Structures are given as structure tokens and as C-alpha cells.
Amino acid sequence: MTLHLKLDNPDEENRLDHMAQGVIGTGANRPDGALKVSGQATYAAEWQRPDMAYGVLVRATVPAGKVEKIDASAVEAMPGIVKVITDPKLLRVPAQGMADAAPAQGNDEVLYFGQPIALVVGDSFEAARHGANHLSVSYLPQEARLDPDAVQTERPEGKQSSQGDLDGVMKTAPVTLDEVWTTPGHNSSAMEPHASMAEWDGDRLTLHGSYQMLKYNRNELADSLGIDPKNVRILSPYVGGGFGSKLGISPEAVAAALAARDLGRPVRVVMPRQQVFETITHRAQCRQRIRLAADETGKLLGIGHDNRVYNLPDEGFAEPVTQATPFTYAAENRAIGQEVATINRVIAGSVRAPGEAIGVPIFENAMDEMAEKLGMDPLEFRLKNIPETPPGQDIPFSSNMLAEALRDGAEKFGWDKRNPTPGAVQEGEWLIGMGMASAVRVNMLMESKARITLTAEGATVETDMTDIGTGTYAILTQIAGELLGLPMEKVTTKLGDTDLPPGSGSGGSFGAASSGTSVYLAAMELRRQIADKLDCDEADLTLKDGQAIAANKTHALADLVGETPFEAEGHIEPGDIASKAFQATFGSHFAEVAVNRHTGETRVRRMLGTFACGRVLNEKTARSQCLGGMTFGIGMALTEEMLFDTRDGHVVNNDFAEYHLPVNLDVPKLEVHFLQERDPYANPMQAKGIGELGICGAAAAVTNAIHNATGVRIRDYPATLDKILPYLP
Amino acid sequence: MRDFTYDRAAATSDAVASASDEGASFIAGGTNLLDLMKLEVMAPEKLVDINRLDLHDIEETDTGGLRVGALVSNSDLAADRRVRRDYAVLSRALLSGASGQLRNKATTGGNLLQRTRCYYFYDTAMPCNKRQPGSGCAAIGGQTRLHAILGASEHCIATHPSDMAVAMRALDAEVEVEGTDGARRTIQMAEFHRLPGDTPAVETVLKAGELITAVILPPPPGGRHVYRKVRDRASYAFALVSVAAVARMDGDSIGDVRLAFGGVAHKPWRDDRAEALMKGKAPSDALFDEAADLILADARGQGGNDFKIPLLRRTLKAALSEATQMGEPQ
């Protein structure tokens, strides 16, 4: 039986708060944790077959042009080389998230430096890599567009909006701000590189890969190969981080499948780190212009947020930089816009909270600067401008605890101890400053299915949903355990297999809520089946520790189930709910930094975040999500930057030695707090997304603190020492 | 990776003989060489493994210095009681480099011979006079954050990435090497690394097959030892600028001062004129500025690294203030 819910109306029952097991919300350990730390969780690149061959992708070394000739003969004559695959079905780029169809294919034309154009297959990885290093390719180069600042841009009609008269109020308002910021390219930087092992059984392909959204990935892979999706099975039970980079099928998967079919043996293709940088989606470099107008009391009268991003020709994705701007703060006069440039550079796509990750911190930099102009405390300025309802819409917020998060964070952090005068606090050679920012991220629900089978031994949850390090195994186990009255160890969760019911996939912070709701629905259907058997109402049924209690009688669940397992499927679909309330998650970030007065080096000394995201399903994994987001916030603020060579567009710092993620010493004590919240519009669990909220705004708390420490406004991220040096005494 | 032959040396004489073959390379910790071989930036035909040679000891010399075996790991050298006491600048420089895991593997000799971290040297699709003599320098006109401001040439603007070597340069260390004739000779650190000139692929004065057997530290210089490394994150990053400063005060004036710089040139940089200028004078902001003026007189940025010029001055002043206990510079 399937319990299907199309979410048209808010939840009125809040059933999870009335269950007895007491496992939901706790910081239960991950069921997969021990497997991972003991090396028993097999990742894609670890799959072996006795007759497996190894493929290494060959990159284009021009930014634009035609491939004139690929001369495979010399490489194919090398020892250990099996074949050079130059199939036109090779992917030029990875698919964008939820593309559901093949991305651009073909190796006759080069659109960017680093584009895969061939696969060298060998009997060993070393042989294949050596071959790949020496494949002779000649090009007919074409003129390339390499510098996003130097090419023509377009203003897509759908990306511009305005209310009132921003230009007018910018002229008349007593206090205004009009400044431009830039952020660099960011790489997702999942620890596990992209890897696939493909094997065919007749017409059926099995791919062990590392992907976030399997139901789409299956269709993308099948479409790329020109075969029926029914003949494709993808397995991604363990994913070593995604951060957007594994949303869509990527070149190594299609190459492995093509080679395995051609050679009649399994083929594994693992991208070296350099290739991940050169081939996989990155966050585009961005230029943002913010305009603000306020009256003397600090009430915002006008908000303008314009930005410039870029992508390859024919790529539809443009970073939704201003996604949170329409609803975070109130102002009558507004203008939002986007320009998009087309350039020959590695594909741009979803990376760690696309949109808000860079849009919110820059806006929060502007808010900090505006507060200074107004002579107001930055916290007070924000509190004054939080809208009652989403501006320009005639619906309420489903819930909005931004003010509470700001006040809670401020109190716990000790914001009242901040000296508002920049450069006023010094300890030895370090200039000390505090900064804060709001955290905002839209909330989404996606269609998702899951199945639960209940036997005398316990329950098994099954869906093709993925756990990309986020804690999916833990939370789905907890949801089923809570509703079915089973301790965690009696629930087995199976994920990451396209043979299982299609879940939402992991992306956009919607995985826990969407996939979790499908498990919730399946469990509710099982509760109904158990109640039927006991001849009571489901609402009167108490399930706890493997016991069913109804009408003051206790029955062992195992006895009730007996020989025939109970089975149920849950199916959630987003309905009309979005027209009834506007959903987002909110929070606050606070940071204290020390800037060296001699060298301009910035070190974060402490950081605190308070977040409101509906029900927290697992306190530990939720907290880990926020810690990760804040850490990436430190990276965005201080260290992370993709360097491109504007002569050929290639990624210059294509490894972890020179693409600087924060290391342990860059990340001090981070504190995470959650506000108690339930959001009935989100889903019947009343839980919202949390994966991305922690990064949205975090960088601004750091850069605003740099201003408080030094008086320097960082306009060009990251805040490396060379940007600060000229302003130091 | 290109196939290679592997030879494990049992004695230094075997190692030198084996490595004098065309295309041979020594391997010790392999922390740099193996990465470069995977990328085929380096493709030796033969590896001569020297890890079993008897070069693992730190011994006191007759003159009161230390002889550091070429195979002493960076971790062991940094932790040695005598080094921490008498050559603190060296211990601090070592600990500022790489990571604990890498320092456990990396050796003293290997550290001196590590290759530049220039992005373009690492990418075989790019021209690089160091990797492929005569092909050109892609770094010039490209991304130059890591690159040299002193002693560079139109053929190469790479920097030497070592922290250890900078401290050794300040300490006037000598490199002991054994040649194919079995004889050992010593080379001053000042002479050991070369400037790029028009042969940037030739990075040291070592002759074919010559093996580093030890680094000899002269008797302890005394004074206060400072190693200040400025970088883009708190750990695990190469120096943008580093300063090794050793200063001994003579009353209120500077009795002796040694300064060496990393991250700014193709070799650890030192400027005798600046040291001579400061000797016998009372430390002051103006004096340090004068020293910096001398050191930076011929400094030239490449655009992306222009900031290193003021950064070197500021770091130099901070390090000297600390070493001379002058207090905070203004």
C-alpha cells in the first residue's frame, strides 16, 4: 500500500511530537559511521573486478576550437594500453542538477580548456595515465572568450524585477550606499573525487558511481548512451561529499560505460583532483552591486541588488545570486537584476548553496556598511528591517525566526561587548574585531518515494536517496524508528540504488525533508496496518521498543507481524502549499577575528551561529552540517579562490595545495545553536532544510569583523592579506 | 607515470655510482618527487633509493657545530634537543612547513632539493623553461601570486619553496656532498642554490650523480632566533614571504644580525649589505627601513605578487623588532 500526500495544506497534527520512542531529534550516531571510519564502506573508486580495465580522461589544452585529429596509434602501441576511446558520446560537461537528460556531448569541438576529449584505457591505472599524458591531439583553434570582465553580457528578461522607484529614492533618501563587490570562482571540493566503475551484463549496465541524485542520474546516463533507463542501475550507497559537484552525471561515468561496452570488460575511471577542478561545475566568479537607501531612523526605503555571472555557451544555469534578497528585508523600492556572460571556461553550476552562498554575505556586507553610515548597531539595523510578510507577496511566511536568531546569537556571542569603533581593540600585534550577519536560505520540498518493510526482526527502509556525508542514513532510520516504535538498531536503511523507490536525491537542502517525509508516510501507512490488525484507530496506537499498545493492551510487534511482512510505500509530492505561505530558513552568524597589524593575515578566533530550520531531526548531524557551512564560510571569507589564466581560461590552482580550503588551524571553536521551531507548511514532520543554511552569510560575519578590526572594507573576496596590507598603519 | 628501474643503494659509493647514469634520480622521502612523477613533470628512468644509507644521525662536530645526516627527517631535526636550543630558527622554520605526516617522511637532503611550486611548472600543458628548457615561461604574464620579486630572470620567475633552507642560509650552513670519485666536498648554502638566469632547469651546483650526505651547521650563533612565515592560510601553505632572523645584542646596539628570506626568490635570499648596515647600530624603525631599502632596491613584482615588496618590508621589520627586542615597530 502506498500513502501518498500532495502537500496542499499545512500539517495540523504534528504527529512526530506525539510519538513514544524518543529517538527523533536526538544526536544518535550514524549507522554508517563505523563502516566509514573502519574502511568497510566501499566508495566508487574502490570497486574491483578481476578483469577490470582502467580509464583516464584526456583533456583539451586549448580553450576553443575544433579537434582536428586524435592520433591514437602511438599511445595504443604503448605497453599496457588497451584502447583509446574517442566515442562522440563522451560528455563535454557534467549535467546540471536535475537535468534528467544528457548534457552536451561530443569531442569534435572544444569549448573550454580541460574538456574531456578521449579516454585512454589500460590494464593498469599507471599505464592508462601515462598514455593519457602522451595522446597526440591537434586542434584548429578558434577565438575564445576568456575574461568575464571583457565580454558582452546579456540581461535575461526573467532575471530582472523591480517595484517602486529605486533610482528615485537613491537620489532623495538621506542615507544611501552604492558599492560593488566581487567574489571569485569556488570549487565544491568534495574529498572524494569523481569516480565510476561500469560493468555490463548483456544490455544491462551497472554503474558504481558517486552521485547525489540517482533517479535523474540514471536518466542522464541512459540518455547519454542512447539506451533505455530501465537497463541502467546506478549504485551510490556511500558518497564522499558532493556540495553540488555530483548532482548531474559527469564525464567519467559515461566514459567508463562506453569503454566497458566497447571492450566487454568492466572499466573504472577516477578523476584525478586536477581534473575535478578543470572539468566539474564550479561557482562562477561574480560581481555584485548593492544599492541601499534609508531614512534617518534606519528604515530601509530602497534595495538594489544586481549581479554578473557567466557560463559556457548553451548552459542554462546562472547562479541565483539574489535568491534571498526579495524577502530578507523590507523596502518599498526595489530592483533586482542579473547579467550573464558567455565564456570559454569550465562549466558553472551548483556549488554549496548556489545563490545565497555569495548573495547573502555580500548583501550582509552592505548592511554592515549601511549601519555604520547610519550610526546604528548592525544588529539593530537588521532587526528594524525584518518584514512582517514577504515583500511584494500577499502570503505570510510559513515561519520566520530571523529576529529571534539574531537576538539569540548576539546574546550567546556577547555582541554587546563589541567596540563599534574600527581599529579600537588591539592585543599585541593583533587587531581584534567582531562582525555579524544574517543567515537566509530558501526552503524546498521535492517529490520523493520510500518503502518500509516490517518483519518480526525489525524494519527495513529502502529508497534511492543518497547520503553524501550529511547523515541521511541516521535521520531516515530515526524517522522510521520513532513512528514504528523501534530502537535504531532494529531499523536498517538501504540507500543509493536505483532499483529502490526513487527519492528526492541530495541537493538544495531538500533531501532530509523530502526523503524524510516519504519515509514518514510509509511508516504512517504501516501504523495504520498495525492499528487495523488491533482493531483500533491509528491515532490511539502507541508503538515503543517493539511493543504495540492499544486499548491498554500490549502486544509484541513481532507477534503481530508474524510470517507475512508488512510493507508500505510513502510518496510525497509538493502541492499547492507554496501559494499559501513563503518558506525559508533563517539564522545568524557572529565572528571574532584577529588581523595582524604587520602582515595583514586574518585569523578567525571564534564563530557562533544560531539557526532556525524547523524540527531538527538529528541534533548531531544537523550540527555537523552547520559546522561545515561555517567552515566553508571561513574559506569563502579568507582563503578560497579559483585562479584562472585569462590567456587560455585554464584553472591555474587545480589542487588542494594551492586551492586553499581552510585547514584545522584556520577553524577555531565554532558554536552552533538551534532554535526550537516547527514549520507546519514545510511537511508533516515540520522539518526544514539545513544543509546549506550554515554557509549563507557566514563569510560576511568574518569580513564585517575584519572591518571592525581594521576599518578595511573587503570588496574583492577572499580577504587575503594583500587586500588589507595597503590600509594598515 | 613512466616506467622506471629501481636500485636500492647499500653504501653512498654505490648510490653515487648508480645515480651517475643518465636519467637517474635519488629518492629519499619521495614527498615531492613521487607527486611530480605521477604528473610526469619529472620522469626519471631510474630511481636510486638511498633510504638505507647510514645518513640518519645528528652528530656534534669538532668545532662545536652539528652535522645533520642527509636522511634525518624534518620531524626529527625539528625536535632535536640541540637544534631547539642552539638553532631555534631552524627548528621553527621546519615546523612551519608542510604537515606532520610530510615532515615525518621528508628528509634534510630532499628538502634542499625540492622543486618549485610554480603552478605552470606543475602543468605539463604549459611551457616552462625549468621543466622543458627553451619552451618559455608561462608564469610571466599569468598568475604570479607565488612568484619571485628578487633575482628572477626573463626565463623564470619561480621561487624555492623550502622553509628549512631559509633558516640554514641564515645560519651559514654548509652542504656536504659525495661525488663519483668518492671524495666529499662542502658547498656553502649561499652557493648551493642558483638563480635562474638563462638555465632555470639547473637549480643547484650539484654535479651529475653527486649525493648530499649531510648539512653542517657551524657553532651556534647565539642571539634571538625568529622565523616568521606569512602565508595564505594558517597552516599547510607555502610562504608568500618568510624571514629568518637571528640577532645578538651588544648592549643597546646590534652585535650581530643574520637575515634570510623565503618565498621571494629562486633560492633562499640573503643580503650582506643590509646586515652590515645594521651591525653596531641601535635598533630603530628607521634603521630597519634602511635595511629593507637595500634589500628591496632591485625588487620587481610581476603584477600578482607586487604585494610581496611591502610585505617583505613589514615582515622584516616585525621579525627584527622581535629578534632585537626593540618592541613593536611603528
Q: In the 3-class helix/strand/coil scheme, how is B241-300 assigned residue by residue?
A: EEEEEEEEEECCEEEEEEEEEECCCCCCECCHHHHHHHCCCCCCHHHHHHHHHHHCCCCC
Torsion B94-B95-B101-B104 (CA) sign: positive
Contacts of B328 in chain A (CB under 8 A): 428-429
Q: How confident is the model at residue A451 (pLDDT cuts 50, 70, 90)?
A: very high
Asked if residue A497 and residue A439 are part of one domain, the reply reads no
State whether B119 and A660 contact (CB < 8 Å): no
Three-state DSSP at A561 gives helix
Contacts of A657 in chain B (CB under 8 A): 117, 238
Q: Quote the CA–CA distance of A381 and A366 in Å, as a whole number.
A: 12
Residue of B nearest to A718 (CA): B232
Task: Find the helix packing angle between A619-634 and A472-484, rounded to 10°.
Answer: 160
Q: Quote the CA–CA distance of B293 and B317 in Å, as a whole number.
A: 12
Q: How confident is the model at residue A100 (pLDDT cuts 50, 70, 90)?
A: very high
CATH number at residue B300: 3.30.390.50
Q: How far is A38 from chain B, CA to nearest CA, in Å? A: 20
Asked if residue A510 and residue A427 are part of one domain, the reply reads no
Q: Quote the CA–CA distance of A625 and A439 in Å, as a whole number.
A: 14
Examine residue A55 and state whether it is found in any structural domain, yes or no. Answer: no
Residue of B nearest to A649 (CA): B142
State whether B240 and A721 contact (CB < 8 Å): yes
Q: Quote the CA–CA distance of A479 and B125 in Å, as a whole number.
A: 52
Task: Name the domain boundary from A573, A606, A627.
Answer: A573
Q: Quote the CA–CA distance of A116 and A714 in Å, as a whole number.
A: 37
Q: Which of A192, A339, A369, A692 is catalytic?
A: A692
Dihedral pair phi/psi, residue B258, rounded to 5°: -130, 140
Asked if residue A559 and residue A590 are part of one domain, the reply reads no
Contacts of A79 in chain B (CB under 8 A): 3
Closest CA to A336 of A300, A305, A302, A301: A305
Indicate the number of domains in chain A.
Answer: 2
Beta strand pairing call for B224-230 and A186-187: unpaired
Examine residue A125 and state whether it is found in any structural domain, yes or no. Answer: no
Asked if residue A710 and residue A584 are part of one domain, the reply reads yes
C-alpha cell at A347: 562549466
Instruction: Express each pLDDT in A261-310 by its tens digit.
Output: 999 999 999 999 999 999 999 999 999 999 999 999 999 999 999 999 99
Percent of chain A with pLDDT over 90: 99
Burial (CB count <10 Å: 0-12, 13-18, 19+), residue A2? middle
Which residue in A61, A598, A652 is closest to B119 by CB distance? A652
Confidence at residue A562, expressed as pLDDT on a 0 to 100 scale: 86
Q: How far is B249 from chain A, CA to nearest CA, in Å? A: 23
Whether residue A163 lies within 8 A of chain B, CB to CB, comes out as: no
Examine residue B263 and state whether it is found in any structural domain, yes or no. Answer: yes
Closest CA to B292 of B239, B329, B255, B326: B329
Q: Say which residue the cell 613584482 belongs to.
A: B301
State whether A645 and B143 contact (CB < 8 Å): yes
- B interface residues, A as partner, C-beta within 8 Å: 1-3, 38, 40, 117, 119-120, 122-125, 138, 141-143, 145-146, 230-238, 240, 307, 310-311, 314-315, 317-318, 328-330
Residue of A nearest to B143 (CA): A645
Q: How far is A429 from chain B, CA to nearest CA, in Å? A: 8
Torsion A187-A189-A193-A198 (CA) sign: negative
Q: Is B32:B114 a contact under the CB 8 Å cutoff?
A: yes
Asked if residue A461 and residue A422 are part of one domain, the reply reads no
Q: Say which residue the cell 546574546 belongs to.
A: A411
Q: Is B148:B308 a contact under the CB 8 Å cutoff?
A: no
Examine residue B171 and state whether it is found in any structural domain, yes or no. Answer: no
Q: How far is A427 from chain B, CA to nearest CA, in Å? A: 12
Dihedral pair phi/psi, residue A610, rounded to 5°: -120, 130
Digit-by-digit pLDDT tens for chain B (330 residues) are: 789 999 999 999 999 999 999 999 999 999 999 999 999 999 999 999 999 999 999 999 999 999 999 999 999 999 999 999 999 999 999 999 999 999 999 999 999 999 999 999 999 999 999 999 999 999 999 999 999 999 999 999 999 999 999 999 999 999 999 999 999 999 999 999 999 999 999 999 999 999 999 999 999 999 999 999 999 999 999 999 999 999 999 999 999 999 999 999 999 999 999 999 999 999 999 999 999 999 999 999 999 999 999 999 999 999 999 999 887 655
* A-to-B residue pairs, Cβ atoms closer than 8 angstroms: 86
Asked if residue A528 and residue A454 are part of one domain, the reply reads yes
Q: Give me the domain span that covers residue A666.
A: 352-444+580-727
Residues 6+ apart with CB under 8 A from A411: none
Dihedral pair phi/psi, residue A357, rounded to 5°: -55, -35
Asked if residue A716 and residue A666 are part of one domain, the reply reads yes
State whether B315 and A599 contact (CB < 8 Å): yes
Phi-psi sector, A40: left (phi>0), alpha (psi -120 to 50), beta: alpha
Whether residue A130 lies within 8 A of chain B, CB to CB, comes out as: yes
Examine residue B203 and state whether it is found in any structural domain, yes or no. Answer: no
Whole-number Cα distances in Å, A410 to A360, A436, A483, A605: 19, 8, 37, 16
Q: Give me the domain span that covers residue B260.
A: 224-324
Q: How far is B20 from chain A, CA to nearest CA, in Å? A: 26
Q: What is the pTM (predicted TM-score) of this model?
A: 0.98
Q: Quote the CA–CA distance of A690 and A585 in Å, as a whole number.
A: 8
Contacts of B232 in chain A (CB under 8 A): 639, 660, 720-721
Q: How confident is the model at residue A145 (pLDDT cuts 50, 70, 90)?
A: very high
- For the question of residue A563 being annotated catalytic, the response is no
Whether residue A427 lies within 8 A of chain B, CB to CB, comes out as: no
Q: Say which residue the cell 515583500 belongs to.
A: A391
Sheet holding B174-178, edge to edge: B58-60, B66-69, B211-217, B174-178, B184-188
Q: Say which residue the cell 528591517 belongs to.
A: A385
Instruction: Say yes or no to pLDDT of A448 above 90.
Output: yes
Asked if residue A360 and residue A388 are part of one domain, the reply reads yes
Q: Is B96:B228 a contact under the CB 8 Å cutoff?
A: no
Confidence at residue B329, expressed as pLDDT on a 0 to 100 scale: 59
Asked if residue A664 and residue A703 are part of one domain, the reply reads yes
Instruction: Say yes or no to pLDDT of A182 above 80.
Output: yes
Whole-number Cα distances in Å, A307 to A486, B217, B231: 51, 58, 31
CATH number at residue A608: 3.30.365.10
Asked if residue A420 and residue A363 are part of one domain, the reply reads yes
Which residue in B38, B142, B237 is closest to A645 by CB distance? B142
Whole-number Cα distances in Å, A161 to A181, A238, A325, A333, A403: 21, 42, 11, 11, 27
Which residue in B230, B233, B314 is closest to A639 by CB distance? B233
Three-state DSSP at A209 gives strand
Q: Is B263:B93 a contact under the CB 8 Å cutoff?
A: no
**Span between the terminal Cα atoms of chain A, in Å:** 72
Whether residue A605 lies within 8 A of chain B, CB to CB, comes out as: no
Whether residue A125 lies within 8 A of chain B, CB to CB, comes out as: no
Which residue in B141, B142, B232 is closest to A720 by CB distance? B232
Examine residue A60 and state whether it is found in any structural domain, yes or no. Answer: no
Which residue in A603, A647, A652 is closest to B141 by CB distance? A647
Q: Is A254:A225 a contact under the CB 8 Å cutoff?
A: yes
Q: How far is A659 from chain B, CA to nearest CA, in Å? A: 10
Q: How far is A342 from chain B, CA to nearest CA, in Å? A: 22
Q: In the 3-class helix/strand/coil scheme, how is chain B assigned residue by residue?
A: CCCCEEEECCCHHHHHHHHCCCCEEEECCCCCHHHHHHCCCCCCCEEEECCCCCCCCEEECCCCCEEEECCCEHHHHHHCHHHHHHCHHHHHHHHCCCCHHHHHHCEHHHHHHCCCCCHHHHCCCCCECCCCCCCCECCCCCCCCCCCCCCCECCECCCCCCCHHHHHHHCCCEEEEECCCCCEEEEEHHHHECCCCCCCCCCECCCCCCEEEEEEECCCCCCEEEEEEECCCCCCCCCCEEEEEEEEEECCEEEEEEEEEECCCCCCECCHHHHHHHCCCCCCHHHHHHHHHHHCCCCCCCCCCCCHHHHHHHHHHHHHHHHHCCCCCC
Instruction: Say yes or no to pLDDT of A24 above 60.
Output: yes
State whether B233 and A663 contact (CB < 8 Å): yes
Q: Is A346:A114 a contact under the CB 8 Å cutoff?
A: yes
Instruction: Say yes or no to pLDDT of A704 above 70.
Output: yes
Asked if residue A707 and residue A610 are part of one domain, the reply reads yes
Contacts of B240 in chain A (CB under 8 A): 721
Instruction: Say yes or no to pLDDT of A446 above 60.
Output: yes
Find the mean pLDDT for residues A348-368: 98
Indicate the number of domains in chain B.
Answer: 2
Whether residue A727 lies within 8 A of chain B, CB to CB, comes out as: no
State whether A652 and B314 contact (CB < 8 Å): no
Task: Name the domain boundary from A538, A573, A608.
Answer: A573
Asked if residue A708 and residue A646 are part of one domain, the reply reads yes
Examine residue B115 and state whether it is found in any structural domain, yes or no. Answer: no
Examine residue A98 and state whether it is found in any structural domain, yes or no. Answer: no
Dihedral pair phi/psi, residue B194, rounded to 5°: -105, 155
Task: Name the domain boundary from A548, A573, A598.
Answer: A573
CATH number at residue B40: 3.30.43.10
Confidence at residue B328, expressed as pLDDT on a 0 to 100 scale: 63
Examine residue B31 and state whether it is found in any structural domain, yes or no. Answer: yes
Phi-psi sector, A98: left (phi>0), alpha (psi -120 to 50), beta: left
State whether A658 and B117 contact (CB < 8 Å): yes
Q: How far from chain centre, in Å, is Cα A101?
A: 21
**Per-residue exposure over A495-504, b if at least 16 CB sit within 10 Å of its own CB, e if not:** bbbbebbbbb
Quote the mean pLDDT of chain A.
97
Examine residue A268 and state whether it is found in any structural domain, yes or no. Answer: no
**Span between the terminal Cα atoms of chain B, in Å:** 53
State whether B235 and A664 contact (CB < 8 Å): yes
Residue of B nearest to A130 (CA): B1
Confidence at residue B330, expressed as pLDDT on a 0 to 100 scale: 52
